[in-house]
Amino acid sequence: MGNGVQVAEPFVGTARGGIAQRMDSRLRSLNLLGRSALVKKLVDVGIRGVRVEPIPSSLGESHRAVLVSNYPAVYQTLRSLIKVGCRFPGQGYRLRGIGRPEVVTNASTLIKALGVDNLIFQAYKDEAGAYRLHKKVVQEVLAHLDGEGHILWLSITGATRGNGLLEGDLRTGAALFSTTKSVPIVPMGLVTTQVGGKPRVIKVRFGEPIDPPQMEELSDFERSDFLIDLSRLALCRVAQLLPPGQRGDFEQVEEKLEELEGRLGRRQD
């Protein structure tokens, strides 16, 4: 009898786990945002407390773009991105982002039903603790950017400390995808307020697009240097969209911007 109970308990646990996995899989397959314009409208209205500035022409129906922003908190950023994506004109849901695996695995029931698997390209953490993309995922991202009107979102820095603008935590992925596919970088600022000691996004602002420069004649060393400066330029443009006190390491953004624009201008001459 004792042995029978010991065998039965793991069997029941496995059965329950299998049922839960199947239910979770069916829930994710709903992809409500990608299938219904009405759901987009309802989700837009349902995400309250976030005011979104008018969508600029650079993110119009047929325009491709790499959208970059600060990164105040994982959930707050995801919430804001979904609302922004619901505002984009055109059919279907045009916005996909690059994020950590836990954005998908720890998503709420509602976010899963909306289609989080189709909203996020998942990165992985390497041995050094940095988030990277597998080669297959990189190809999926590039294929996404080939689609008419498709938009890719990336954080311009990799951490959520403060308001997400950390000079020593710069990411060059946006610049790389922008130059590879010849699509502009569009800065986006997530303005926050503190609620219970944590940041809450209350406003989304958009900046002027940054057209990708021609890089064919640059050496590998010059190209790497150029991508870093282009990423810093995008970061400065994001900082300009935030109020003083929310710019992290870029409170003196005008000085940094002047220096960068001069250096980039000299390289293109």
| Both structure tokens of 157 | 């820095």
pLDDT in tens, 23-57: 777 777 788 898 889 999 999 999 999 999 999 99
In a domain, 152, yes or no: yes
In a domain, 252, yes or no: yes
- Rounded to the nearest integer, the mean pLDDT of the chain is 86
Amino acid 145: pLDDT: 97
pLDDT in tens, 188-233: 999 999 999 889 999 999 999 999 877 776 677 778 888 899 999 9
pLDDT in tens, 160-181: 666 768 888 888 899 999 999 9
- 120 closest CA partner among 147, 101, 139: 101
Which position has the higher pLDDT, 269 or 197? Answer: 197
Write out the residue range of the structural domain in which residue 192 sits: 27-268
Which position has the higher pLDDT, 133 or 13? Answer: 133
In a domain, 13, yes or no: no
In a domain, 238, yes or no: yes
- Among 23-32, 90-99, 229-238, the range scoring the smallest mean pLDDT is 23-32
In a domain, 206, yes or no: yes
- 8 Å CB contact between 179 and 212: yes
The amino acid sitting at 123 is A
Mean pLDDT over 129-135 rounds to 84
CB atoms within 10 A of CB 179: 19
Amino acid 163: pLDDT: 73
Amino acid 4: pLDDT: 41
Q: For position 156, which CATH number holds?
A: 3.40.1130
- Among 19-23, 94-98, 103-107, 251-255, the range scoring the smallest mean pLDDT is 19-23
Is the pLDDT at 1 greater than 60? The verdict is no
CA distance 231 to 228: 5
Amino acid 208: pLDDT: 96
CA distance 181 to 185: 11
| Both structure tokens of 58 | 């650079």
In a domain, 249, yes or no: yes
Which position has the higher pLDDT, 100 or 222? Answer: 100
Give me the percent of the chain exceeding a pLDDT of 70.
Answer: 87
Q: Where are the alpha helices (DSSP H) in 172-219?
A: 173-181
Mean pLDDT over 151-155 rounds to 95
CB atoms within 10 A of CB 156: 29
Distances (CA, A) of 125 to 13, 132, 188: 30, 6, 25
CB atoms within 10 A of CB 173: 23
Total structural domains within the chain: 1
In a domain, 89, yes or no: yes
- Residue 269 buriedness (CB in 10 A; 0-12 / 13-18 / 19+): exposed
- 8 Å CB contact between 249 and 166: yes
Mean pLDDT over 86-112 rounds to 90
CA distance 67 to 96: 10
Amino acid 162: pLDDT: 67
In a domain, 242, yes or no: yes
